[in-house]
């Protein structure tokens, strides 16, 4: 009669996991949000043709095998002229300080001029984590543009260089593998099936703001902020009341349009995006409210969820 094999005293070795924060930084319109969406495989961070559409950091989570990457998309490293821009730059530098890996995104369509590189140098000086550089938009750039950036980066940024196109995915898989290899060992920080840590309300408001950037022109998109006032998930359809804040009463008229045509179009397009995001029917109720000069008012910015650094913080000058 066959004998059972003796029981082993050895237990299977536990799988070593790696997890960490990967902060995406770069100048406005470098393609950070497009790259985040490409890496996660979902439309989390809003993307438009206009510059500087990311105003707050967006967290995207990618769990693959034994690795968990928590990507932090940040506002662009911009020159600061008012309180609102200080708040955006502050959000970027705060995320930089939390990074386990820094992913510096460069738009290689722009030449490495002093204006373009000043904030990049500042961010590199602030970084306390390994740096990987994504030289983005190689599908559009010519060899001279790419080589100019490679020369500048070799002398100013101590990090591995990766040529990528966030738009078509070229080089992104190789970049991801390199970033994974730089993660510290540690347990997962979020459930494996999570793709974001921000609340649903945040993404719903961002989708409306994205549509405003697409539909309106000149100063209107940069003067508008969206915030969910009420979210009734138990209703069918889901009821969402959204405050759309503007800086001046005249902007309210532009946003609404003649006989309400513009606000109706905004509501329809935004609702379609939100329903796709939530995979559920939605009733979207938009309320346009003046909030005078909110970008220049510390109390208003705080009310809208922005943190403005103190005046004596030299990093934000």
- Record: fold of 18-181: Rossmann fold (3.40.50)
Q: Answer whether 183's CB lies under 8 Å from 18's CB.
A: yes
Strands, E assignment, the chain? 18-25, 58-64, 67-73, 101-107, 131-136, 159-163, 225-232, 238-246, 282-290
Q: Answer whether 168's CB lies under 8 Å from 84's CB.
A: no
Residue 316's pLDDT is 44
- Mean pLDDT for the chain overall: 92
pLDDT higher than 70, residue 14:
no
Condensed to tens digits (0 to 9), the pLDDT of residues 154-192 reads 999 999 999 999 999 999 999 999 999 999 999 999 999
Q: Answer whether 61's CB lies under 8 Å from 71's CB.
A: yes
How far apart CA 10 and CA 29 sit, in angstroms, is 54
Residue 243's pLDDT is 97
Nearest CA among 221, 283, 274 for reference residue 247: 221
pTM: 0.89
The arithmetic mean of pLDDT across residues 105-122, rounded, is: 91
The arithmetic mean of pLDDT across residues 236-251, rounded, is: 96
Q: Where are the domains of the chain?
A: 18-181, 200-303
How far apart CA 262 and CA 224 sit, in angstroms, is 15
> Is the model more confident about 13 or about 91?
91
Superfamily of domain 200-303: K homology (KH) domain (3.30.300.20)
Condensed to tens digits (0 to 9), the pLDDT of residues 65-106 reads 999 999 999 999 988 888 999 999 999 999 999 999 999 999
pLDDT band at residue 317 under the 50/70/90 scheme: very low
Q: Which token pair is 284?
A: 């979207």
How far apart CA 253 and CA 191 sit, in angstroms, is 45
> How many residues appear in the chain?
317
> Is the model more confident about 237 or about 8?
237
């Amino acid at each position: 009669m066959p004998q059972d094999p003796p029981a082993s005293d050895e237990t299977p070795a536990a799988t070593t996991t790696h997890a960490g924060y990967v902060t995406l930084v770069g100048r406005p319109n470098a393609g950070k949000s497009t790259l985040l969406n490409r890496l996660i495989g979902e439309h989390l961070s809003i993307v438009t043709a206009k510059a500087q559409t990311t105003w707050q950091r967006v967290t995207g989570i990618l769990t693959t095998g034994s690795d968990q990457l928590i990507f932090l998309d940040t506002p662009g490293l911009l020159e600061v002229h008012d309180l609102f821009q200080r708040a955006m730059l502050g959000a970027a530098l705060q995320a930089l300080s939390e990074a386990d890996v820094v992913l510096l995104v460069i738009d290689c369509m722009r030449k490495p001029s002093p204006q373009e590189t000043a904030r990049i140098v500042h961010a590199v000086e602030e970084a306390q984590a390994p740096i990987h550089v994504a030289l983005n938009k190689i599908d559009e750039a010519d060899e001279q543009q790419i080589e100019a950036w490679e020369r500048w980066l070799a002398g100013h940024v101590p990090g591995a260089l990766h040529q990528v196109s966030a738009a078509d995915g070229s080089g992104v898989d190789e970049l991801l593998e390199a970033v994974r290899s730089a993660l510290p060992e540690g347990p997962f920080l979020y459930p494996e099936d999570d793709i974001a840590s921000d609340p649903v309300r945040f993404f719903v408001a961002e989708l409306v703001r994205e549509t405003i950037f697409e539909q309106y022109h000149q100063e209107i998109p940069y003067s508008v902020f969206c915030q969910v006032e009420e979210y009734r998930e138990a209703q069918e359809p889901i009821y969402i009341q959204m405050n759309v804040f503007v800086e001046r009463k005249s902007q309210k008229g532009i946003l609404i349009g003649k006989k309400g045509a513009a606000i109706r179009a905004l509501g329809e397009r935004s609702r379609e995006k939100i329903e796709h995001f939530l995979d559920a029917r939605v009733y979207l109720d938009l309320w346009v409210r003046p909030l005078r000069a909110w970008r220049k008012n510390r109390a208003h910015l705080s009310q809208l969820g922005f943190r403005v650094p103190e005046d004596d913080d030299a990093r934000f000058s």
